[in-house]
Amino acid sequence: MSVVILLPIFFAFTGLRTQIGLLNEGHLWGVFAVIMLVAVAGKFAGSAFTARLMGQSWEQSLSIGALMNTRGLMELVVLNIGYDLGILTPQVFAMLVLMALATTFMTGPLLDYFGWYFHGRKARAMS
């Protein structure tokens, strides 16, 4: 029931509340770029370097970083609560929703790339 009915309604509700058109000035896209940089550096780089310090290989460390970087549903729940409480402005809400979507959608391609890169590197080293 929740996955089939409530989850799609929640995503549609969040999408309808997100007013990307409010990001109509260059400096707002600059703020979004900073948000993306800090978000990715904080979770992806932080997780990857910590995993590496704990003895994981670079492939495993970068994969852990990519998986930790995804935000998805939990981020959207928190953003909706903050927006409802008036903590987030509509512009900031839109930027953070875009950041949550971008970091979630980049997980699959990053994992594919790391697998391709490291497995190709191993194959080149063997030949």
Output the tens digit of pLDDT for each of the chain's 127 residues.
888 888 889 999 999 999 999 999 999 999 999 999 999 999 999 999 999 999 999 999 999 999 999 988 899 999 999 999 999 999 999 999 999 999 999 999 999 999 999 988 777 777 6
Q: Is residue 13 part of a domain?
A: no
What are the C-alpha distances in Å from 4 to residues 13, 74, 81, 104? 15, 18, 22, 20
Asked, for residue 14, whether it belongs to a domain, the answer is: no
Give the pLDDT score at 125.
73
Q: Is residue 2 part of a domain?
A: no
| Cβ atoms of 43 and 65 closer than 8 Å | yes
For residue 16, being part of any structural domain is answered with no
* Residue 4, in any domain of the structure: no
- Asked if residue 54 lies in contact with residue 123, where contact means CB atoms within 8 angstroms, the answer is no
d(CA 22, CA 78): 21
What type of residue sits at position 90?
Answer: P
pTM: 0.86
In this structure, is residue 20 part of a structural domain?
no
